[in-house]
């Protein structure tokens, strides 16, 4: 019991550490050549083509399997349990994409479901988008966008630089500040949800590598990126999984 509590505290500290580094210029990972070599040489299975109906069925299967575990994790992290109910939406679109939006909605494109092989890869993305709601990231990003725009307006007033450009730049800076931290937090919570749901974390790891290989996630992280690079996410994934498997 004491070991379980200690490991739980360590895991929360691991996630909490991400909050200390909200600047998008910060990277806490040294990407070794071995990580890059693994990503480049990793043998991914060919994705399975699925119709929209099949995509919806698979997403619903995943959603039903992880829902109880996701709610359990959610209630451990939030006071407002309204954030622990989610609506799943499927759209016909060939893009390899999914996103969380206001009103606890999670939207998946059929292109993403068709772009994976293992159910675990899809489950990782579903849990990741749920984690954005658990972390209140949508509201946080909106607040930072408004704050950035206000700062831009203040700068405009004091310098005389054309209003539109500065306010827009300020809004973008505000929106992106801390976005990498949000993505890493969502990855960590996603892994916790998957483990509690009984998914194979080795198979779900294929999804991170696939994101990097198909170019959705950068190989190198640069200033003002909205997401960590692919190799950074692989390193982070392995760190979080090690903590979880020690429990």
Q: What is the pLDDT of residues 130-166, one digit of tens each?
A: 999 999 988 775 654 443 334 444 445 555 555 545 4
Taking the C-alpha atoms of residue 160 and residue 26, their distance in angstroms, rounded to an integer, is 32
User: 131 with 194: CB under 8 angstroms?
Assistant: no
Mean confidence (pLDDT) of the chain: 77
Q: What is the pLDDT of residue 162?
A: 52
- Which range, 32-41, 168-177, 184-193, 216-225, has the best average confidence (pLDDT)? 184-193
Question: SS3 sequence, 149-161?
Answer: HHHHHHHHHHHCC
Q: Which of 189, 173, 193 is nearest to 65 (CA)?
A: 193
**Other C-beta atoms lying within 10 Å of the C-beta of residue 171:** 20
CA–CA separation, 13 vs 30, rounded Å? 20
For β-strands 98-101 and 105-109, DSSP reports them as antiparallel
CA distance 83 to 78: 8
Task: Quote the pTM value.
Answer: 0.75
Residues 6 or more apart whose CB falls under 8 angstroms from that of 146 comprise: 171, 174
Query: How confident is the model at residue 21, as a pLDDT?
Result: 42
Q: Measured between alpha carbons, how far is 203 from 216 in angstroms, rounded to an integer?
A: 19
Q: Which residue in this structure is represented by tokens 């969502």?
A: 186
* 158 backbone φψ class: left, alpha, beta (φ>0; ψ -120 to 50): alpha
Average pLDDT over residues 166-177: 40
- Alpha carbon 204 to its chain centroid, in Å, reads 13
Q: And the tokens for 76?
A: 């451990």
- Distances in Å between the Cα of 80 and the Cα atoms of 16, 42, 74, 76 are 19, 41, 9, 11
Q: How far apart, in whole angstroms, are the C-alpha atoms of residue 165 and residue 224?
A: 17
Model pLDDT, residue 30? 73
Query: What pLDDT band is residue 16 in, cutting at 50, 70 and 90?
Result: low
pLDDT score at 12: 53
Two tokens at 216? 């959705």
pLDDT at 51: 94
Could you tell me which residues come within 8 angstroms of residue 130 by beta carbon, excluding any fewer than 6 positions away? 66, 70, 74, 86, 100, 106, 189, 190, 193
């Amino acid at each position: 019991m004491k070991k379980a509590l200690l490991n739980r505290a360590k895991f929360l500290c691991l996630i909490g550490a991400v909050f200390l580094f909200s600047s998008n210029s910060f990277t806490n990972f040294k990407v070794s050549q071995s990580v890059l070599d693994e990503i480049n040489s990793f043998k991914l299975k060919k994705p399975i083509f699925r119709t929209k109906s099949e995509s919806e069925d698979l997403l619903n299967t995943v959603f039903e399997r992880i829902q109880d575990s996701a709610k359990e994790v959610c209630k451990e992290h939030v006071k407002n349990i309204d954030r622990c109910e989610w609506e799943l939406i499927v759209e016909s679109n060939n893009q390899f994409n999914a996103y969380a939006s206001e009103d606890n909605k999670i939207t998946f494109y059929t292109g993403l479901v068709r772009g994976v092989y293992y159910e675990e890869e899809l489950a990782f993305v579903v849990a990741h988008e749920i984690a954005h709601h658990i972390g209140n990231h949508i509201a946080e990003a909106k607040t930072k966008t408004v704050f950035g725009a206000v700062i831009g307006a203040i700068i405009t007033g004091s310098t005389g630089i054309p209003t539109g450009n500065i306010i827009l730049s300020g809004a973008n800076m505000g929106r992106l500040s801390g976005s990498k931290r949000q993505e890493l937090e969502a990855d960590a919570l996603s892994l916790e949800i998957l483990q509690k749901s009984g998914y194979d974390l080795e198979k779900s790891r294929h999804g991170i590598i696939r994101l990097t290989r198909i170019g959705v996630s950068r190989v190198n992280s640069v200033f003002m990126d909205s997401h960590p690079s692919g190799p950074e996410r692989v390193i982070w994934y392995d760190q979080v999984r090690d903590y979880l498997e020690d429990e």
